[in-house]
Structure 1
Amino acid sequence: MVPKPENKLTAWYVNEPEKVLDAQRIKQIMGDGAEIYETSSYEDAIVTLECIRQRKKIRYEDRLHLSPHKEDYVSMIDMFRREHKHPDEEVRYFERGTGFLDVRDKSDRWLRVQVRAGHLLVLPPQIYHRFSPATQQEELVIHRLFEDVDAWTADFRDEEGDQ
């Protein structure tokens, strides 16, 4: 899979935006189990998702559509913006839209990952993170894969941790 040049995943530390990191460095910072794919088409992403699904024995998937035209948009975005972690890996494919996935490194610093359509990420379990759309009018479609539950569960960190 060869990503389009404009689809390269990049990240930077929130307090050092001028130091842009590539996908390899991002995976190192996220730790063991982190995976990053920069797919070139929807079909390519579906094939990659199927490989991940089989390799990790994933039994449930949903497709989250976040739109400013939906009643629950603000409450959903507010929830995803809160710092949290999951007991299982987080597998996400960004089908549409652009946003920022902030991930805590081992020193508790925020790494900001810019995600857009075509990016597919696997975060290790128990890694604190938060998500924000790039703009308040951003429409997002995200595929979420779960090991064996059909519900999103999160352990939210206190409000001070969001800083």
Structure 2
Amino acid sequence: MRAYYFDNLPGDQRLPHDSNPSRPVTTELLKKLKVETFHIPLTDGYQDKIDAIAKERGYKNRDVINISKDGLGDAYEDKIKMFFDEHLHEDEEIRFLVDGSGYFDIRETPTDSWIRIAMCSGDLLVLPAGIYHRFTLDEGNKVEAMRLFKDEPKWAALNRSPDTDHNVHRVEYLKSIAQVA
């Protein structure tokens, strides 16, 4: 997994969009933003490691989503656009890439800069509730991802707006990174 500042240049969202020169983002900065990263090689026993993380974090359910033209069929283009709209969730978001590769972009606070996190199979990402983010495939155009949930599987995105800026989960997130009193 590699994190760096997004270049904000127009063009295909599936391209790396790495600045020239590159501006890497450290694991320490991600931790300050309450973003956690793990790499779990897809070898024998990887499921046990996922189970341990799920137990530690109170996750009881999971599913696997195939984000590809084959996996999503006619909904593919609409889903890719929807995933790339800036949004937040009221729950922590955990994704483990079983196959393929893609990008999660997160908003750095307080700069509002985009940080791009390049992920491939074996990478696990934990985003806190209330962080603005988006997702896109890379040029490989496919990801098989395990999604973990505390309760019943659900995926409710709240697109960024003045209302979401005041959402209780957004405010709590900002407090957790010492950005509001």
For the aligned pair, the TM-score class normalised by the smaller chain equals 0.7 to 0.9
Superposed displacement of residue 48, structure 1 = 2.2
Specify which structure has the higher proportion of strand: 1
1:74 to 66, 73, 77: 77
Q: Residue deviations 1:25-77, cap 9 Å, x none?
A: 3523432xx32111222545422210121112212211001121322211211
Give 2:59's aligned residue: 58
Structure 1 residue runs of 4 or more that deviate by more than 6 Å after TM superposition: none
Distance, in Å, in 2 between the alignment partners of 1:20 and 1:151 is 33
Q: Cα gap change, 1:42/1:82 in structure 2, threshold over 3 Å: closer, same or farther?
A: farther
Normalised TM-score (structure 1): 0.81
Which structure would you say has the larger Rg? 2
RMSD, aligned CA: 1.8
Q: Cα gap change, 1:104/1:156 in structure 2, threshold over 3 Å: closer, same or farther?
A: same
Give 1:5's aligned residue: none
Normalised TM-score (structure 2): 0.74
2:3 to 8, 11, 19: 11
Total equivalences in the alignment = 146
- The answer as to 2:116 corresponding to 1:116 is no
Give 5+ residue unaligned stretches, structure 2.
8-17, 162-181
Conserved in 1, the CA contact under 8 Å of 2:102 and 2:118? yes
Q: Residue deviations 1:111-152, cap 9 Å, x none?
A: 0110111100111111010001002x5121010011113221
**Which has the higher mean CA deviation after the structures are superposed, 42-51 or 85-94?**
42-51
Percent of residue pairs bearing the same amino acid type = 29
